[in-house]
Amino acid sequence: MKEETEFMPKPMVLVGGEPILIHIMKSYALHGFTNFVLCLGFKSDYVKKYFLTRRYLANDFLIDGDCEPEILSSAPTDKWTIRLIDTGEDSMTGCRIARAIDRYDQDYENFGVTYGDGLCDVDISSEYQFHCDHGSIGTIMGVNPVSRFGQIDADGNTVQKFMEKPVLNDDWINGGYFFFKKEFRSYLSDESTCVLEREPLMSLTDDRYLRVYRHSGFWRCMDTQRDKEELDGMFAEGKINWFEKK
């Protein structure tokens, strides 16, 4: 996505007029999860500036000398707690989580993890309850991927049906919405090369401490400029609402 990410980190790319990161955070907040830790790296200053000024950008405000800016209107604000932690520009996903855990000073038993480029309408509350009920260390959300290509259903050489990028209902992949118990820290390393999807999750799997929560609803990952434009189109046409609680 060089057209966008040359100038900003991928989670700040706009979808429907707002950064995809904000869409993700709103989907969590809808289910009562409002305590966020953002693991920053590439162009971290861009994200910090956005959140420092977000409240003002939504309102009219007055700047008077050395005083703090004064809000002149009353646009609603999100009641979120957000920690912005610089976890290293070259750090991999597992390292980022480890460093964030080590700098987080509150008591907790479980925590959620997601990437900054995926949107879905999963019932996060239900996934969390599933995670608490099964008692294992980790939960991964499994989703059905969308084919990158149209598919042909043929009888011999006669085409019976053409399907434009269908959902592959028989396949399951990592959908990127996780829950872990705090014990997961022992599977992670704060070395910059630690990748969540490699040794940490593989070791958790080998120990039989990872469970899958299956989600068959809407899910899209914004990997390319084409994906971004497709999500923009869906948003503009009202075809999807990833904030609607089930």
Domains, the chain, in order of start with CATH, read 15-236 (3.90.550.10)
What is the torsion angle, in degrees rounded to the nearest 10, for the CA atoms of residue 193, residue 195, residue 201 and residue 203? -20
pLDDT of residue 145: 77
Long-range contacts at 181-189 (CB < 8 A, ≥ 24 apart): 181/109, 181/110, 181/137, 181/138, 182/101, 182/108, 182/109, 182/110, 182/111, 183/137, 184/137, 184/138, 185/98, 185/101, 185/102, 187/137, 188/94, 188/95, 188/97, 188/98, 188/101, 189/94, 189/95, 189/98
Distance from the Cα of residue 67 to its chain's centroid: 36
DSSP for the chain reads: -HHHHTTS-GGGSEETTEEHHHHHHHHHHTTT--EEEEEE-TTHHHHHHHHHHHHHHTS-EE--TTSPPEE-S-------EEEEEE--TT--HHHHHHHHHHH--S--SEEEEE-SSEEE---HHHHHHHHHHH--SEEEEEEPPBPSS-EEEEETTEEEEEESS-B-TT--EEEEEEEEEGGGGGG---STT--TTTHHHHHHHHTT-EEEEEE-S-EEE--SHHHHHHHHHHHHTT---TT---
**CA–CA separation, 126 vs 109, rounded Å?**
17
Say what the pTM is.
0.85
pLDDT of residue 157: 56
**Predicted confidence (pLDDT) per residue in 69-80, tens digit:** 888 887 777 889
Cα–Cα distances (Å) from 219 to 86, 128, 159, 177, in that order, read 28, 18, 29, 11
pLDDT of residue 105: 72
**Predicted confidence (pLDDT) per residue in 177-222, tens digit:** 999 999 999 999 999 999 999 999 999 999 999 999 999 888 888 9
The residue ranges of the chain whose pLDDT is under 70 are 147-170, 240-246
